[in-house]
């Protein structure tokens, strides 16, 4: 809510702070999901490697269809690993902080300090807390969205690989 003079009211700040906290928690959950999926991917790769090492069978023994499914499955698992690693890759602010703008992200603080304007930037941010919160909400929302896109890609690729590899062996 805004007050009669158009200035942001306490509810605006509280709502923005609550949403920012929710977004940060969602980013942490996304990183946790990616870590679990990378562990599952590692177990899958370990099982496949163990089975191949302890048998006389080799992917070259497969028919053309089986071979296509096998190598497509291997590529799917590689894509899954790439996507899941992209999930946990640090993401830096999309816009560079400039004097007069609120501090919203750690890279903003670093840039303001490098320019010798950190104290002024902190004062600007304190005078207009909603502006800083809106900038932080925008950036953390972008980060959460990108992380979830990579998780979806990784999960779909992992499932495809998990179906294609045994399917290739069954196809012969």
Give the global pTM. Answer: 0.76
pLDDT per residue rounded down to tens, the chain (172 residues): 444 555 555 567 888 889 889 999 999 999 999 999 999 999 988 888 887 777 777 788 889 999 999 999 999 999 999 999 999 888 776 667 788 888 888 888 888 899 998 999 888 888 888 888 888 888 889 889 999 999 999 999 999 999 998 888 888 7
What pLDDT shows up at residue 4?
52
Q: DSSP label at 103?
A: P
Q: What are the distances in angstroms from CA 23 to CA 72, 107, 133?
A: 36, 18, 12
Q: What are the distances in angstroms from CA 104 to CA 15, 33, 49, 94, 141?
A: 16, 26, 46, 11, 13
Helix axes 129-171, 10-53, angle to 10 degrees: 20
Q: Where are the domains of the chain?
A: 16-171
What pLDDT shows up at residue 143?
87
């Amino acid at each position: 809510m805004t007050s009669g003079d158009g200035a942001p009211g306490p509810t605006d700040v509280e709502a923005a702070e609550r949403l920012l906290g929710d977004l940060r928690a969602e980013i942490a959950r996304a990183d946790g999901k990616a870590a679990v999926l990378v562990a599952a991917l590692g177990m899958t790769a370990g099982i496949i490697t163990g089975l191949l090492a302890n048998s006389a069978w080799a992917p070259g023994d497969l028919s053309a269809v089986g071979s296509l499914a096998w190598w497509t499955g291997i590529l799917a698992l590689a894509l899954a690993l790439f996507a899941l690693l992209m999930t946990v890759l640090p993401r830096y602010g999309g816009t560079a902080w400039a004097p007069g703008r609120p501090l919203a992200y750690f890279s903003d603080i670093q840039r303001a300090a490098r320019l010798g304007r950190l104290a002024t930037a902190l004062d600007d941010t304190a005078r207009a807390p909603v502006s800083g919160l809106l900038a932080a909400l925008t950036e953390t929302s972008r980060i959460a969205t990108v992380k979830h896109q990579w998780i979806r890609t990784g999960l779909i690729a992992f499932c495809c690989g998990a179906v294609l590899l045994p399917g290739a062996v069954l196809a012969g």
